[in-house]
């Protein structure tokens, strides 16, 4: 049974379809190795944008630039939420405060906390009590705490993780950890949710659940989703648009249908070989890089 | 988990002690603390007071090292800052003991935050080495800034008196110091169920994820150093007033090591563990001394080797705990509780 | 000018001994990522065992020294096997703490055997004053420098030429890869600890020859930290150069400025280095990736 959400999940002020994030000519290199070469793309409010490409194409590097973990040497990343923000000059926590949440490829949960505490930690940016009232657990701090406990319950409900609320995260299965990590990102009430391989290493059933949660969050709450995923079946099914990276360059962009037929993409994935391969469902294709 | 107990409101669900057994244990512990001084002699009161000061210091270090994951070998140095600040303010400027104690806490918090700056670039053992350097630098300043601290000579602090009551006799000090321990405990427990404490644990578990969740690493790491040093300063200041005297030997690297040992043996990232570790490491030498006295009748040479036995035991206890039960006394305590909760149906 | 030369020689002597202690420290870190807080105690044990061999058992010094080295190697193996092996895979704080516990235990053992009073060391190296460029220094100090250089030379040949030395470098570089090449990582850890104990023992014997034996020799354990941070925690040449630089720095500040500044300056240098170049002058920079 799904309860109605008591609190708003999406904090964006834009209308669906408006440009929310613009990556402009981003270049990133480590020493002499170029990770991203002149990449530009646009993310629009309330869409699901998938970023695909072979291993080492620079997909995760791009997410890391957006969330401020890497600082590109050239180019700009501009974020709109009524005002304009240049993200490349900000620190990760400042970018989080603007409403950009993310999950990680190799699950970076707070392993020693319970699921509930992970979700509450996700809501960190919204909790405003000062240190003194926290130490006393007095008045506003307590009220705020209980309000967010309720909010966390909404997310628990949404992701169907009621049974593991009080479990320590480190002890959970891989699939559940991925789910909790998405929950933690949602607790931030994001305007954009960046998901780095949310289905890697899952079985078909778990993937289906995860795809459903992603669609729920996107359709019911209007949260914009940027998704890196290797499972082409899922990508083709759920995304509105797809960007393809190869060797740090953007080689294609378009709807799933356009991408499916793009010769450059087919070549990037397969060299000269068969055509349909990457776009069939293939459980072995999700080797992470 | 505790089955059969269901909470119907979020308030109850988030209470600190969620089962009747937990509540009973807490009440028993508090009752013990309340009646203890009426039955204990001076020797035991002194020990209890030492334990209390150690608990404050251990909770402080556990906040920084156990919860936030920033290894510190500077606890002794920070306690020295607190002790000397309190001592100098009271001895030279006539400030009342409680006033100098409060000032000492804030001064130490500031010093701790300054020495916490390297934590922004350094992790793990590099930070441990940096705090080791902080310890050496602070102690050097204390022993060489003669005009301020009196150098290597002892700094004598006048007796703390409030409303005509001498605070630092063992009985009176017991109430003061355990009262403070109570306040510190409540504050620490609350800290870790609110965003600040959660941010600390998040930093220790996954600092990059924490920053992406909106935790300002700069601010929270320095805050962890400041809060931890605040308590170290408090422990140092209380030592100064309790002992009437401040000497540098009480704050060497050995003291930093002692406090680290307390939180490791007690349990990293646990307030209960801080209590257990502080009590264990404070009482251990006392127990050994008493054992030494007991065997002195048929082995008179014990006096000359007792210090070595104490030192060897200290080292051995640390090694044995780390090898056999790295999660410390708190874990052993948990295992005992689990055993009895399920007893006699342990499977 | 005399003072300068004298201080330089004092600094070089101390630097050489620091380098020997630091060498073992770096070796252990390179092989197993362990920071050894008991390095000063290894030095202490080396000094006292040499003292016992020569002064108490009346052995000739070459024999005494050889036995000391054997005991140091055995100590290294035992410590690695009993204390460090169970800590593989444990968090950094546990590993740091276990070596701290070890240092306390070793110091207690030494004190319970030999007591806490400093003792004069039977000078197996003559300490006649000699004239170097117009300054007068003890001959033993010169010998200390020479012996340290010889030891460091032997170690570097060992690393470059011997099977074990090469295996050790392989383990330091990549444990997994070394393991798959059939190198026994456990054996290499034991080697690292034995060599660390042995090089510290030589350092201990040298310093005891100059200033006598006493429990305060363990203080070298803390003085090693500025050396290894300056040189780089994983660099053997760094340990040598760091030792010399810190030794000279201590000698010059002690001689020209005084006020005990020589005790604290190395630690200030340590913090400065950590802030601007945490991997030291010669250490490997590790880039963290997300």
Q: For residues C284 and A263, which has the higher predicted lDDT (pLDDT)? A: A263
Confidence of residue A275 (pLDDT cuts 50, 70, 90): very low
Q: Taking a C-beta distance cutoff of 8 angstroms, is the pair B59, B188 a contact?
A: yes
In chain C, the residue whose alpha carbon lies closest to the alpha carbon of A69 is: C290
Chain A CB contacts of C285 below 8 Å: none
Find chains touching chain A: ≥3 CB pairs under 8 Å. B, C
In-domain check, residue B106 = yes
In-domain check, residue B153 = yes
How confident is the prediction along chain C (290 residues), in pLDDT tens digits per residue? 678 888 888 888 888 888 888 888 888 888 888 889 999 999 999 999 988 888 888 888 888 889 999 999 999 999 998 888 888 778 888 888 999 999 999 999 998 888 888 888 777 777 777 777 777 777 878 888 888 888 888 888 887 788 877 887 787 777 778 878 888 888 888 888 998 899 888 888 888 888 888 888 888 888 889 999 998 888 888 888 999 999 999 999 888 887 788 888 999 999 998 888 878 788 777 654 44
In chain C, the residue whose alpha carbon lies closest to the alpha carbon of B137 is: C264
In-domain check, residue B75 = yes
pLDDT digits over A37-72, tens only?
Answer: 889 999 998 899 999 888 888 889 999 999 999 999
Q: Is the pLDDT of residue A8 over 80?
A: no
**What would the two tokens of residue C170 be?**
């392989």
3-state secondary structure of A38: strand
In-domain check, residue B239 = yes
Overall residue count recorded for chain C in this entry = 290
C285 to chain A, minimum CA–CA distance in Å? 13
In-domain check, residue A9 = no
Q: Please give the pLDDT value at position C149.
A: 85
C286–A contact, CB cutoff 8 A: no
Q: What is the DSSP letter of B59?
A: H
Chain A CB contacts of B6 below 8 Å: none
CB-CB under 8 Å, B216 with A91? yes
- C-alpha–C-alpha distance, residues C25 and C13, integer Å: 19
Q: Is the pLDDT of residue B190 over 80?
A: yes
In-domain check, residue A2 = no
Of residues C102, C103, C274, nearest to B122 (C-beta): C274
Q: Domain range holding A272?
A: 19-286
Q: Is the pLDDT of residue B262 over 50?
A: yes
Within 10 Å of residue A93's Cβ, how many Cβ atoms? Answer: 22
Q: For residues C34 and A283, which has the higher predicted lDDT (pLDDT)? A: C34
Bridge-based pairing state of the strands A19-30 and A249-254: unpaired
Average pLDDT over residues A186-210: 89
Q: Please give the pLDDT value at position B346.
A: 58
Confidence of residue B68 (pLDDT cuts 50, 70, 90): very high
The DSSP code sequence of A51-95 is EE-STTSSHHHHHHHHTTSS--SEEEEEEESSSEEEGGGS-HHHH
Find chains touching chain C: ≥3 CB pairs under 8 Å. A, B
CB-CB under 8 Å, C93 with B315? no
Q: Taking a C-beta distance cutoff of 8 angstroms, is the pair C240, C152 a contact?
A: yes
In chain B, the residue whose alpha carbon lies closest to the alpha carbon of C38 is: B315
- C-alpha–C-alpha distance, residues B171 and B160, integer Å: 14
CB-CB under 8 Å, C290 with A30? no
SS (H, E, C) B236-278: HHHHHHHHCEECHHHHCHHHHHHHHHHHHHHCCCCHHHHHHHH
Average pLDDT over residues A166-173: 88
- C-alpha–C-alpha distance, residues C242 and C280, integer Å: 9
The most confident of the ranges B105-114, B211-220, C136-145 is B105-114
Confidence of residue B183 (pLDDT cuts 50, 70, 90): very high
CATH number at residue A128: 3.40.50.300
Q: Is the pLDDT of residue A2 over 60?
A: no
C70–B contact, CB cutoff 8 A: no
Phi and psi dihedrals of A81, rounded to 5?
-140, 50
The residues that bridge with A193 in the sheet, in sequence order, are A101, A225
pLDDT digits over A43-52, tens only?
Answer: 998 899 999 8
Average pLDDT over residues B231-250: 92
In chain C, the residue whose alpha carbon lies closest to the alpha carbon of B143 is: C260
Q: Please give the pLDDT value at position B335.
A: 85
**What would the two tokens of residue B57 be?**
């210091």
SS (H, E, C) chain C: CHHHHHHHHHHHHHHHHHHHHHHHHHHHHHHHCCCCCCHHHHHHHHHHHHHHHHHHCCCCHHHHHHHHHHHHHHHHHHHHHHHHHHHCCCCHHHHHHHHHHHHHHHHHHHHHHHCCCCECCCCCCCCCEEEECCEEEEHHHHHHHHHHHHHHHHHHHHHHHCHHHHHHHHHHHCHHHHHHCCCCHHHHHHHHHHHHHHHHHHHHHHHHHHHCECHHHHHHHHHHHHHHHHHCCCCHHHHHHHHHHHHHHHHHHHHHHCCCHHHHHHHHHHHHHHHHCCCCCCCCCCCCCC
Confidence of residue B86 (pLDDT cuts 50, 70, 90): very high
Q: Please give the pLDDT value at position A1.
A: 39
In-domain check, residue A159 = yes
Out of B1-15, B283-297, C166-180, least confident range: B1-15
The percentage of chain A sitting over the pLDDT mark of 70, rounded to a whole number, equals: 90
Chain A CB contacts of B105 below 8 Å: none
In-domain check, residue A1 = no
Q: Is the pLDDT of residue B31 over 80?
A: yes
Q: Taking a C-beta distance cutoff of 8 angstroms, is the pair B237, B81 a contact?
A: no
In what helix (H) or strand (E) does residue B229 lie, and over which residues does it extend?
helix B217-243
Q: Is the pLDDT of residue A157 over 70?
A: yes
Q: How many domains does chain B have?
A: 1
In chain B, the residue whose alpha carbon lies closest to the alpha carbon of A65 is: B212
CB-CB under 8 Å, C287 with A30? yes
CATH number at residue B307: 1.10.3470
Residue pointed to by tokens 């009747």: B20
> Mean pLDDT in chain A?
83
Phi and psi dihedrals of C265, rounded to 5?
-55, -45
Provide the terminal-to-terminal Cα distance of chain C, rounded to the nearest Å: 55
CB-CB under 8 Å, A64 with C287? no
CATH architecture of C2-276: Orthogonal Bundle (1.10)
- C-alpha–C-alpha distance, residues A200 and A287, integer Å: 8
Q: Taking a C-beta distance cutoff of 8 angstroms, is the pair B26, B15 a contact?
A: no
Residue pointed to by tokens 């203890």: B36
Average pLDDT over residues A260-279: 65
Q: How many domains does chain A have?
A: 1
Q: Please give the pLDDT value at position A282.
A: 42
- C-alpha–C-alpha distance, residues A193 and A184, integer Å: 11
Q: Taking a C-beta distance cutoff of 8 angstroms, is the pair A231, A199 a contact?
A: yes
Q: Taking a C-beta distance cutoff of 8 angstroms, is the pair B208, B53 a contact?
A: no
Cβ contacts below 8 Å, chain A against chain B, sum to 107
Contact residues for A286 (Cβ-Cβ < 8 A; gap 6+):
A197, A199, A200, A201, A230, A231
Phi and psi dihedrals of A11, rounded to 5?
-105, 10
């Amino acid at each position: 049974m799904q309860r109605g959400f008591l609190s708003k999940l999406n904090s964006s002020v834009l209308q669906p379809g408006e440009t929310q994030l613009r990556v402009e000519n981003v270049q990133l290199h480590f020493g002499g190795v170029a990770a991203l070469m002149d990449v530009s793309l646009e993310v629009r409010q309330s869409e699901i944008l998938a970023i695909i490409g072979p291993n080492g194409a620079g997909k995760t590097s791009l997410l890391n630039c957006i969330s401020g973990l890497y600082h590109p040497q050239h180019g700009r990343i501009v974020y709109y939420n009524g005002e304009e923000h240049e993200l490349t000059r900000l620190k990760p926590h400042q970018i989080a405060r603007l409403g950009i949440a993310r999950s990680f490829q190799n699950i970076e949960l707070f392993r020693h906390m319970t699921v509930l505490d992970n979700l509450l930690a996700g809501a960190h940016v919204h909790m405003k009590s000062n240190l003194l009232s926290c130490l006393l657990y007095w008045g506003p701090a307590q009220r705020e705490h209980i309000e967010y406990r309720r909010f966390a319950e909404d997310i628990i409900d949404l992701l169907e993780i009621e049974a593991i609320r009080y479990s320590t995260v480190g002890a959970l299965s891989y699939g559940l950890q991925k789910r909790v990590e998405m929950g933690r990102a949602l607790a931030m009430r994001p305007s954009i949710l960046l998901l780095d391989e949310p289905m890697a290493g899952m079985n078909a059933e778990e993937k289906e659940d995860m795809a459903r949660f992603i669609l729920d969050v996107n359709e019911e709450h209007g949260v914009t989703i940027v998704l890196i995923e290797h499972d082409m079946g899922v990508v083709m099914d759920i995304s509105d648009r797809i960007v393809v990276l190869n060797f740090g360059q953007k080689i294609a962009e378009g709807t799933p249908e356009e991408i499916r037929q793009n010769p450059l993409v087919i070549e990037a994935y397969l060299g000269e070989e068969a055509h349909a391969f990457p776009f069939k469902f293939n459980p072995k294709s999700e080797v992470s890089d | 988990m505790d089955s059969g107990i269901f909470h119907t409101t979020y308030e109850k669900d988030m209470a600190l002690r969620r089962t009747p057994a937990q509540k009973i244990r807490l009440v028993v512990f508090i009752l013990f603390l309340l009646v203890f001084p009426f039955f204990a002699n001076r020797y035991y009161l002194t020990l209890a007071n030492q334990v209390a000061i150690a608990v404050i210091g251990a909770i402080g270090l556990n906040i920084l090292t156990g919860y936030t994951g920033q290894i510190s070998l500077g606890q002794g140095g920070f306690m020295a800052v607190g002790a000397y600040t309190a001592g100098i303010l009271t001895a030279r400027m006539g400030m009342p003991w409680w006033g100098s104690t409060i000032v000492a806490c804030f001064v130490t918090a500031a010093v701790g935050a300054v020495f916490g700056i390297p934590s922004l670039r350094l992790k793990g053992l590099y930070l441990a080495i940096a705090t080791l350097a902080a310890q050496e630098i602070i102690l050097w300043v204390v022993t060489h800034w003669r005009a301020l601290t009196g150098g290597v000579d002892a700094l004598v602090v006048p007796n703390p008196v409030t409303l005509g009551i001498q605070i630092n006799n063992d009985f009176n000090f017991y109430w003061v110091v355990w009262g403070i321990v109570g306040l510190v405990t409540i504050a620490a427990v609350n800290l870790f169920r609110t965003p600040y404490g959660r941010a600390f644990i998040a930093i220790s578990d996954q600092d990059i994820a924490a920053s992406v969740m909106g935790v300002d690493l700069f601010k929270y790491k320095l805050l962890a150093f400041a809060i931890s040093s605040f308590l170290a300063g408090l422990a140092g200041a209380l030592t100064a007033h309790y002992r009437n005297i401040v000497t540098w030997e009480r704050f060497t690297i050995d003291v930093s090591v002692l406090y680290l040992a307390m939180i490791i043996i007690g349990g990293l990232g646990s307030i209960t563990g801080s209590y257990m570790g502080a009590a264990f490491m404070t009482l251990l030498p006392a127990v050994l001394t008493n054992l030494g006295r007991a065997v002195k009748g048929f082995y008179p040479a014990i006096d000359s080797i007792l210090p070595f036995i104490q030192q060897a035991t200290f080292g051995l206890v640390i090694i044995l705990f780390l090898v056999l039960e790295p999660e410390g006394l708190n874990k052993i305590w948990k295992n005992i509780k689990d055993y009895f909760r399920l007893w006699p149906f342990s499977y | 000018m005399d003072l300068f030369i004298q201080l330089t020689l004092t600094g070089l002597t101390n630097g050489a001994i620091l380098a020997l202690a630091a060498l073992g420290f770096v070796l252990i870190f390179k092989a197993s990522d362990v920071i050894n807080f008991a390095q000063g105690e290894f030095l202490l044990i080396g000094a006292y065992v040499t003292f016992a061999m020569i002064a108490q058992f009346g052995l000739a010094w070459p024999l005494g020294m050889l036995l000391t080295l054997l005991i140091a190697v055995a100590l290294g193996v035992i410590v690695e096997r009993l204390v460090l092996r169970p800590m593989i895979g444990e968090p950094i704080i546990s590993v740091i703490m276990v070596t701290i516990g070890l240092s306390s235990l070793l110091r207690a053992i030494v004190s319970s055997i030999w007591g806490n009073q400093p003792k004069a060391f039977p000078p197996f190296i003559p300490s006649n004053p000699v004239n170097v460029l117009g300054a007068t220094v003890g001959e033993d100090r010169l010998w200390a420098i020479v012996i340290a250089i010889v030891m460091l030379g032997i170690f570097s040949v060992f690393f470059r030429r011997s099977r074990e030395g090469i295996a050790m470098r392989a383990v330091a570089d990549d444990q997994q890869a070394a393991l798959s090449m059939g190198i026994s990582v456990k054996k290499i850890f034991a080697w690292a600890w034995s060599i660390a104990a042995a090089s510290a023992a030589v350092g201990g014997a040298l310093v005891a020859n100059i200033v006598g034996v006493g429990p305060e020799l363990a203080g070298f354990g803390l003085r090693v930290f500025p050396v290894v941070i300056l040189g780089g925690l994983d660099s053997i040449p760094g340990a040598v150069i760091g030792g010399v630089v810190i030794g000279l720095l201590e000698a010059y500040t002690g001689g020209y400025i005084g006020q005990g500044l020589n005790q604290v300056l190395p630690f200030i240098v340590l913090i400065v280095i950590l802030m601007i170049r945490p991997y030291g002058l010669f250490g490997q920079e590790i880039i963290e990736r997300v």
